[in-house]
Structure formats: structure tokens, C-alpha cells
């Protein structure tokens, strides 16, 4: 009534079903983020009322940003959830991926090569693993637990036909899944392979960038299998 009396617009944007989850993830407050991730985990397991990602595709982008895989086309997520998040929570997801992914070419998927603006703090030409001992996997590894939660959410959602096309068309999601599939944490690798298998049929030939990602995945996987056979 007040807006109408002052001649202001009364056409409000109708919030979607997942508006509160999106706002919680955007807030970058640890308790809000934990709440949103836990709710997404529960909703992804709900068979009758599974999450419909097409109602708010930003949800996937934000979940991936909290796993250290950024899509800066919608904003500077790498600055907020990378640098600032690392300083306030002591969680360094970029370092996590560097420590669990051994292949140097696959590690390049941490950054979006198509992005014209990348934070210099994430551009390291060489990663000296000698000075960084292997991670100790377990419940004490907070980065691994968060990435595992998000991988479980995406895997569960990939069983829903309505979500498969959106996940397959999300380049940032494919980068995340390829990183998971090449990491040395067995549970995370299996989740990545399972989800890639679910969305593979919907990855169309229209995008050359997507084809490059898949070819890189296949070639690296074949090379790993050859090394194992030897």
C-alpha cells in the first residue's frame, strides 16, 4: 500500500522454492552455508519431491563455488568464496584440489580458461608437491568432507531426468566432475564417475568446449588404464 501511495512499482519478483537456499549460500556465513548444504543433501534424497534445478540454476553454481570450482560469469565468486572464504574459515579448496589431483593437465580445470578475469592468487604455474605432504583423509579434513557432500548432492540429482540436461549443460559442473574423477580419494572419484555416467548421454556435440573436456577425460582415463596394465 505504501509503495502504491508513493507511485512505486508493486510488481514484485516471485521468489522460487529455493530462494532461501540461494541466499544462504550467497551469504558466505558458515552456519548458513552448512544449513543450505544439509538441506540440499536431504532434498536430493527425496524421491517424491526431488529438487528441480531448472527453478533456480544458480543453486548448482553456488554449490560448486563452495567446493572451490568457480563460474565467474555471474559474479566474482572466486574472490568471495576463494580469497575471503579462505581467510575467514581457514578452508583452502584450491589447495585441496591441487593435493588430491595428481595430473597437471587435469588440475588446470580448477580455473575456467574461458574467463577473462582470474584472480592472481589462483594462478600458480608450478605446484611443488614435495613441500606439501599428502592429505590425511577422514572426518577431520573439512575441505574433503564439504566437496564430498556436494558430490553426493549432484550424484543424487543426476538420477532425475529433469536435472540431467541442466547438469550436462553446466560447464562448471563438468569441470567439477572431471576433477572428482581424477582425484586420489576413492569415494570422491567414484561419485564423479557415477555422475558423469548419468549425464553423459545429454552432453551434446554443440559445444566445442564440452567436447574438449570429454576428450581430455577419455584420453587421461585411457592413459591411466594403460599404466595400470603395464
Provide the whole-model pTM.
0.77
pLDDT at 60 over 90: yes
State the pLDDT at residue 34.
93
- CB proximity list for 54: less than 8 A, separation 6 or greater: 162, 163, 166
pLDDT at 130 (0 to 100): 46
Q: Collect all residues with Cβ–Cβ distance below 8 Å to 131 and sequence separation of at least 6.
A: none
Q: How many CB atoms lie within 10 A of CB 89?
A: 15
Eight-class DSSP state of 222: H
pLDDT > 90? residue 229: no
* Rg (alpha carbons) of the chain, rounded to whole number: 19
> What was the pLDDT predicted at 147?
94
Composition of the chain by helix, strand, coil, percent to 5: 65, 0, 35
Amino acid at each position: 500500500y505504501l509503495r502504491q501511495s508513493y507511485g512505486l512499482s508493486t510488481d514484485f519478483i516471485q521468489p522460487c522454492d529455493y530462494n532461501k537456499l540461494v541466499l544462504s549460500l550467497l551469504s558466505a556465513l558458515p552456519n548458513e552455508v552448512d544449513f543450505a548444504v544439509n538441506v540440499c543433501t536431504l532434498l536430493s534424497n527425496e524421491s517424491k519431491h526431488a529438487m528441480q534445478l531448472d527453478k533456480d540454476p544458480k543453486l548448482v553454481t553456488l554449490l560448486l563455488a563452495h567446493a572451490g570450482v568457480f563460474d565467474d560469469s555471474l559474479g566474482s565468486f572466486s574472490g568471495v568464496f576463494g580469497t575471503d572464504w579462505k581467510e575467514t574459515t581457514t578452508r583452502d579448496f584450491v589447495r585441496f584440489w591441487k593435493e588430491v589431483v595428481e595430473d597437471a593437465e587435469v588440475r588446470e580445470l580448477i580455473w575456467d580458461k574461458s574467463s577473462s578475469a582470474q584472480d592472481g592468487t589462483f594462478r600458480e604455474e608450478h605446484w611443488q608437491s614435495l613441500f606439501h605432504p599428502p592429505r590425511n583423509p577422514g572426518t577431520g579434513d573439512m575441505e574433503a568432507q564439504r566437496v564430498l557432500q556436494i558430490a553426493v548432492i549432484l550424484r543424487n540429482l543426476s538420477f532425475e531426468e529433469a536435472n540431467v540436461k541442466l547438469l550436462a549443460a553446466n560447464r562448471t559442473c563438468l569441470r567439477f566432475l572431471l576433477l572428482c574423477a581424477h582425484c586420489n580419494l576413492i569415494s570422491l572419484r567414484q561419485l564423479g564417475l557415477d555422475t558423469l555416467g548419468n549425464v553423459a548421454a545429454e552432453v551434446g556435440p554443440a559445444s566445442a568446449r564440452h567436447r574438449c573436456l570429454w576428450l581430455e577425460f577419455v584420453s587421461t582415463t585411457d592413459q591411466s588404464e594403460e599404466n595400470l596394465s603395464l
